[in-house]
């Protein structure tokens, strides 16, 4: 409040020092301020008269600098009285103005009248000014259970560089719950409406500050950024994809959030939150989806008729003050409803802004993706926008698709007007992608035919083929070595089995016979192993694996010797009729060495197997 009073003081000093401008007089001003949402709309009906001898064709509109910063939309139209047939609205030209000797604390716009006003002539027109972020939450932080109170500040007098004969003001609120408001002369309150005036014979730059502190739990939905991508396909579809970054722009939520309390009493324990948004999509919208980074969001409802398609969406959680969410909406539209042809050029005619009801957009980026091959591109919009061109590479594109990018800040629903993108596109360009597909399949099948009939085997005289053949021979020999070692290990197991039979039956002769058979078999296996080792030592391809093979053979021979020693010790003990415990004690140390050697042999066999598989 202190900052507001200081700004008012500086503004008053500035405007009192300013002279009146021209001989125009505002004979009647009827102003209406709508505070029924977080978007402030001020509608003024102004009747201007020329009291001087010179013709006047421009009327200046004045706004305080702070208010002008929040202005999102300004339009002037000729006033049509009650009972008259409503004609299509033709807006009067409105431009920023910089008149001389005017206070810097004011921002001016000029309205061009349809014709100049001679002395005594009058003209009535309507002015619509739309403001964003003009409602200030007080208090700035509230809990889940609190209601949201906001403050609006303005002037009860119509701020103008011209004298005003009669003027009145009405302030319309969401409901009748008002914390406080400025009481001036001729102030009346009727339910949710506060009326100031009428006030007569006001001098130029008259200013009387007012403040209204009231309850407003309506959705303060603000899109900090919205990216709309409109992609045209001449095969019959216009695909619209909208990426939202949304925030609740009201009083910041503080304290803990209880979902249980919110679900039990949402109108009390969540009065300031909003739970859903409504989007009025174009008629015949189809393939509608609503999702975020997690995936599809099922809390949406779609209904439509011949005039519109209404989409009601619910975020994953209720939106309290300061809370944010991000989501994407997409839908398809029939091409024939939005694409037209004129003077040999095609043009897209579609709405500019978001279909969301009562949404403020801090930054809006609209991308119109045209078909590949489009040229001579131009844009027509009813308000100023930043624009540039990009290129988007998509499937089956060669040069990429031209993208027209439009950007505008501080966007309100009044900006959701039709704009046009004109471009030239040849019908032959539509055949580009089908021909690419046909050609691609044709060359693919030709390549398959050539592959099936061509001999692409490696020559038998090449170095790579010879190296591969040598390695395959080495692998076969190594496999034979492994088989011989495995047979040796089986023989060792048979000797161990004969010792177990000896301890059970005491048949020494049978045990000696098993020993004799094992000796003969192991000698034969040793003979088979010698030429295989000789081959591996002579083959360069076996250089890396040869040390492991030789180690395997050496370990097996050592194991063989230990097994024979153990066998002889046990048999000798039984022949001397030693006790079983005495025999076990004599071979206990030998058994430990046998177990360790057997484990080493098994590990080497496993290593050689893995090496063969890798190579």
Domain definitions of the chain by residue range: 24-81+91-215, 221-425, 466-614
Q: Are 43 and 31 in contact (CB under 8 A)?
A: yes
Q: How far apart are CA 422 and CA 427, in angstroms?
A: 16
What pLDDT shows up at residue 1? Answer: 46
pLDDT over 80 (residue 28): yes
Nearest to 154 by CA among 191, 83, 209, 100: 209
What pLDDT shows up at residue 13? Answer: 40
Residue 487 is given by DSSP the state H
SS3 381: coil
SS3 134: coil
Q: How far apart are CA 501 and CA 218, in angstroms?
A: 96
Nearest to 605 by CA among 520, 518, 489, 443: 489
Least confident residue range of 4-8, 136-140, 251-255, 520-524: 4-8
Give the phi and the psi of residue 212 in degrees, each rounded to 5. Answer: -125, 125
What pLDDT shows up at residue 16? Answer: 47
What pLDDT shows up at residue 82? Answer: 67
Same fold, 24-81+91-215 and 221-425: yes
Taking each helix axis from N to C end, the angle separating 508-538 and 546-575, rounded to the nearest 10 degrees, works out to 170
What pLDDT shows up at residue 431? Answer: 74
Cα 52 to chain centroid, rounded: 60
Tokens for 284, please give them: 């015949």
Average pLDDT over residues 181-207: 92
pLDDT over 50 (residue 9): no
pLDDT over 70 (residue 453): yes
- Residue pLDDT, tens place only, 575-597: 877 777 887 888 888 888 888 88
- Residue pLDDT, tens place only, 470-516: 888 888 888 888 898 888 888 888 888 888 888 888 888 888 888 88
pLDDT over 70 (residue 254): yes
Q: Output the average pLDDT for the chain.
A: 87
Least confident residue range of 79-83, 158-162, 294-298: 79-83
What pLDDT shows up at residue 396? Answer: 72
**Predicted confidence band at 615 (pLDDT cuts at 50, 70, 90)?**
low
Strands of 11-105, DSSP E = 24-34, 40-50, 56-64, 71-78, 94-97
pLDDT over 90 (residue 76): yes
Least confident residue range of 10-14, 23-27, 313-317: 10-14
pLDDT over 80 (residue 14): no
CATH 2.60.40.1730 is right for the domain spanning 221-425? yes
SS3 578: coil
Give the phi and the psi of residue 143 in degrees, each rounded to 5. Answer: -90, 180
Say if residue 359 is exposed, middle or buried (CB neighbours under 10 Å; 0-12, 13-18, 19+): buried
What pLDDT shows up at residue 69? Answer: 92
Give the phi and the psi of residue 48 in degrees, each rounded to 5. Answer: -110, 140
CATH architecture of 24-81+91-215: Sandwich (2.60)
First-to-final CA distance of the chain: 83
Tokens for 98, please give them: 């910089």
Average pLDDT over residues 100-121: 89
């Amino acid at each position: 409040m202190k900052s507001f009073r200081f700004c008012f003081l500086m503004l008053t000093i500035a405007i009192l020092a300013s002279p009146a401008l021209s001989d125009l007089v505002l004979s009647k001003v009827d102003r209406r301020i709508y505070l029924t949402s977080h978007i402030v709309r001020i509608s003024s009906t102004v009747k201007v008269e020329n009291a001087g001898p010179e013709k006047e064709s421009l009327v200046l509109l004045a706004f305080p600098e702070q208010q002008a910063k929040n202005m999102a939309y300004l339009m002037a139209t000729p006033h049509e009285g009650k009972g008259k047939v409503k004609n299509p609205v033709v807006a009067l030209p409105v431009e920023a103005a910089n008149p001389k000797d005017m206070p810097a604390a004011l921002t001016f716009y000029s309205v061009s009248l349809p014709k100049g006003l001679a002395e005594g002539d009058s003209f009535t027109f309507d002015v619509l000014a739309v403001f964003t972020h003009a409602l200030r939450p007080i208090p700035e932080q509230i809990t889940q259970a609190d209601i949201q109170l906001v403050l609006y500040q303005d002037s009860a007098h119509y701020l103008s560089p011209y004298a005003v004969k009669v003027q009145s003001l009405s302030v319309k609120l969401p409901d009748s719950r008002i914390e406080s408001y400025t009481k001036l002369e001729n102030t009346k309150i009727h339910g949710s409406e506060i009326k100031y005036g009428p006030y007569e014979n006001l001098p130029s730059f008259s200013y009387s500050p007012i403040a209204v502190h009231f309850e407003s739990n309506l959705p303060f939905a603000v899109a900090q950024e919205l990216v709309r991508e409109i992609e045209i396909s001449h095969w019959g579809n216009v695909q619209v994809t909208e990426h939202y970054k949304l925030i609740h722009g009201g009083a910041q939520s503080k304290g803990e959030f209880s979902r249980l309390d919110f679900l039990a009493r949402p109108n009390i324990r969540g009065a300031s939150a909003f739970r859903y948004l409504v989007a009025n999509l174009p008629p015949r919208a189809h393939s509608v989806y609503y999702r975020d980074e997690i995936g599809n969001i099922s809390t949406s409802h779609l209904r439509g008729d011949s005039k519109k398609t209404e989409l009601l969406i619910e975020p994953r959680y209720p939106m309290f003050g300061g809370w944010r969410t991000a989501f994407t909406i997409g839908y398809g539209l029939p091409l024939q409803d939005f694409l037209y042809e004129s003077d040999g050029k095609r043009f897209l005619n579609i709405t500019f802004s978001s279909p969301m009801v009562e949404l403020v957009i801090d930054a809006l980026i609209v991308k119109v993706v045209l078909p590949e091959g489009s040229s001579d591109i131009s844009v027509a919009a009813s308000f100023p926008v930043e624009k540039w061109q990009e290129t988007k590479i998509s499937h089956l594109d060669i040069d990429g698709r031209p993208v027209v990018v439009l950007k505008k800040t501080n966007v309100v629903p009044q900006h959701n007007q039709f704009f046009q993108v004109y471009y030239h596109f040849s019908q032959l360009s539509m055949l580009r992608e089908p021909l690419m597909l046909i050609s691609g399949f044709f060359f693919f099948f030709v390549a398959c035919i050539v592959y099936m009939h061509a001999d692409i085997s490696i020559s038998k005289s090449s170095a790579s083929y010879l190296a591969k053949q040598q390695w395959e021979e080495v692998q076969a020999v190594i496999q034979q070595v492994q088989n011989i070692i495995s047979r040796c290990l089986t023989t060792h197991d048979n000797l161990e089995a004969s010792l177990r039979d000896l301890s059970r039956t005491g048949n020494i002769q049978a045990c000696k016979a098993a020993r004799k058979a094992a000796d003969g078999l192991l000698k034969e296996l040793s003979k088979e192993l010698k030429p295989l080792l000789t081959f591996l030592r002579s083959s360069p391809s076996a250089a890396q694996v040869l040390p492991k093979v030789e180690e395997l053979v050496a370990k097996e021979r050592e194991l063989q010797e230990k097994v024979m020693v153990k066998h002889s010790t046990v048999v000798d003990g039984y022949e001397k009729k030693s006790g079983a415990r005495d025999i076990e004690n004599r071979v206990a140390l030998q058994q430990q060495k046998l177990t360790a050697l057997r484990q080493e042999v098994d590990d080497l066999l496993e290593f050689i197997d893995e090496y063969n598989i890798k190579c």
